[in-house]
Amino acid sequence: MRDQKEAYTLLLTALVFRQFGVLGKTKALKCADQAGLIVDDNGNVKSYRGSGNSAIKRLVDAYVSYIGIPAKISCTMLIRKIAKENDISLDPNLIPLKNHKRLNLTTYDTSKIIAIGASTGGTEALKQVLVKMPPDIPAMVIVQHMPKNFTKSFAQRLDSLCSFKVKEGTHGDPLVRGQALIAPGNYHVRLKKTGTTYHIETNQEEKVHYQRPAVDVLFESVAKCAGKNAIGVILTGMGGDGARGLLRMKESGAKTIAQDEESCVVFGMPKEAIKLGAVDKTVTLSKIADSILGFLKK
């Protein structure tokens, strides 16, 4: 078993590395400095002030100041994983979660389907939205315009940052609470329903808006299968993919959200959706997660 100092240094370094991925290097190093850590440019913790427990608490508090309470969930999951893999004995109350409110099943409708579409600038936008979501979020299906062989690693990166499971979708995958499916590159994804359960189907039919996967293909299938039991979100991106499909979702009773112009890298897809009257709510990127949770309230 590792000695205590070495164990906590390992855990703190892992948390800093995670922040590199979520916040970027500059903000991550700033958080480390706020927490009283001495860290090299690569994120390796050399020393820390006070006890290991207090150093981790300070670091997580700094992290929370940027992305909110879900940071506590994701950090705790990471700490438990590293402790188990390295035979580290830790205080079970290292990062108490008693003040974190999970989705209350009597208050929020977790049976809904969340469909998200994005293109240019979407990888960063999706990260900012998903890391703020609680672990028991309703099932999600996401289309990000991305070439083949890149979507799997993108899903794995998001999985390492989020408090719920994120994976590249495959034909027949069921939609379950606490999981997001990323459309595989070069494949369209459609939502299907069998009885009371949802799953996805993938295909290589003709490109739509020069894209495969296409957001419209997903959104139109969600409108058909889920109707009012869905929430549609369109994020930054070039062109008009997803606008027509989002309109179909709204017409079928779903709630719809678009990213605003100011926070978009390219205000193309959201703009076209707004022009069609497909959007219930237009908000800045930092407010999209809260808007989704707001629509989940019963």
Catalytic residue annotation: 119, 145, 241
Task: Determine contact, residues 72/95, Cβ cutoff 8 Å.
Answer: yes
The tokens describing 280, both together, are 């219930």
Q: What does each C-alpha distance from 276 to 229, 250, 280 come to in angstroms?
A: 21, 11, 11
Residue 205 phi, psi dihedral angles, 5° rounding: -65, 175
Residue in the structure block whose two tokens are 């990000």: 144
Task: Determine contact, residues 268/150, Cβ cutoff 8 Å.
Answer: no
Interior angle at CA 40, CA 34 and CA 24, nearest 5? 65
**What DSSP character marks residue 252?**
T
| DSSP symbols for 163-207 | SSEEEE--TTPBP-TTEEEEPPTT-EEEEEEETTEEEEEEE----
Residues in Cβ contact with 297 at an 8 Å cutoff, skipping those fewer than 6 apart:
107, 108, 109
By the 10 Å C-beta count (0-12 exposed, 13-18 middle, 19+ buried), 241 is classed as buried
